[in-house]
Structure formats: structure tokens, C-alpha cells
Structure 1
Amino acid sequence: MGGLSIWHWLIVLLIVVLVFGTKKLKNIGQDLGGAVKGFKDGMKDGSASADAPPAQVTNNSSTTKATDANTVDVEAKNKS
């Protein structure tokens, strides 16, 4: 009592196929598989970049002119 037998699952599967159709179920399965694969790839990329050594920061305070249009030169002053 309370458990579902194989016959119950087959009837549920038959009703789902009749309601949605096989093409719609195939598309849902492909979308779900692609989402899971993308998530796993993202997790691999995240752990690979976390293992990489951090980028070194250099302090060139003698240069005050920006050499690239996308860089901004900022000087920090210490409070005494």
C-alpha cells in the first residue's frame, strides 16, 4: 500500500506521452541535457581559474601618463 508498481508508472508515462507528444518530450530532454552540460562545464572552468595563481600587480607611480585608451592611472596617497 502506498507504493507505485511498474503498471502505475507505465500508465503515467502513457498519459504524459499522449498529452505532450514525443517530439515535445524529446526537445525538453535535449534542453535539459544541454543545461546540465553547460552547468558542468561552468563548474570546471570556475575550479580551473580558482587554481590558477593570481595576477601580479605592479606599482609604477613614476608613470603618470596613460599608455592605452582603456587604462586609467590612479595614484593613492597615504594619510599620515
Structure 2
Amino acid sequence: MGSFSIWHWLIVLLIVVLVFGTKKLKNIGSDLGGAVKGFKDGMKDGSSGAPAGEANAPAPAQVTAQQAADAARTVDVDAKTRG
């Protein structure tokens, strides 16, 4: 009485397919699979010893070059005076 037979599970599966449809179930399955894969990749990256944010951080030379380019385009408001 405590366990379900295979026929109970087949009937439940048939009802779920009738309610949601096969296309929606396929989308749910692929979304769930992608989420599990992303979680596993995140756990693998986290266990490599480096913090998670550090793996995607730009190199210091790239940051310096970007800051120099931004500084060249920056207009200093105090330097411009009306005459």
C-alpha cells in the first residue's frame, strides 16, 4: 500500500503529458539540464582554488590601458573657462 506500481507511474506520466504537452516538457527538460550543467561548471570553477570573481577579472595591463583611454577622452570641466 505504501509504494506505487509501474502502472501508477505510467498513468501519472500520461496525465502530465496531456496537461503540459510534449513541447513544453521538452523545454522544461532542456532548461533544467542547462541549469544543472551551469551549476556543475560553477562548482568546478570554484574548487580550482581561485575565487569565482577573479577568474573573469581583466588583467592589470588591460585595466591600465582602458583607464588611459578613458582619461584621454575625459574633459576636465575646471580647465575650460569662459573668457
Normalization by structure 1: what TM-score? 0.61
Paired residue for 2:4? 4
Q: Give the unaligned 5+ runs of structure 2.
A: 52-63, 69-83
Measure the CA separation in 2 of the matches of 1:50 and 1:11.
49
Tell me the secondary structure at the aligned position of residue 26 of structure 1.
helix
Question: Deviations for 1:10-68, whole angstroms, at most 9, x for unmatched residues?
Answer: 000000000000000000000000000000001111111439xxxxxxxxxxxxxxxx5
Number of residue-to-residue matches in the alignment: 54
Residue 25 (structure 1) aligned with residue 19 (structure 2): no
Give the number of the structure with larger relative contact order, counting CA–CA contacts within 8 Å between residues 6 or more apart.
1
Give the letter aligned to residue 47 of structure 2.
Answer: S
The percent identity for this pair of structures is 83
Aligned partners of 1:10 and 1:33: how far apart in 2?
23
SS at match of 1:48: coil
Correspondence for 2:35 = 35
Runs of 5+ in structure 1 lacking a partner? 52-67, 71-80
The structure richer in helix per residue is 2
Give the whole-Å Cα distance in 1 for the aligned partners of 2:35 and 2:42: 10
Q: Distance in 2 between matches of 1:47 and 1:3?
A: 39
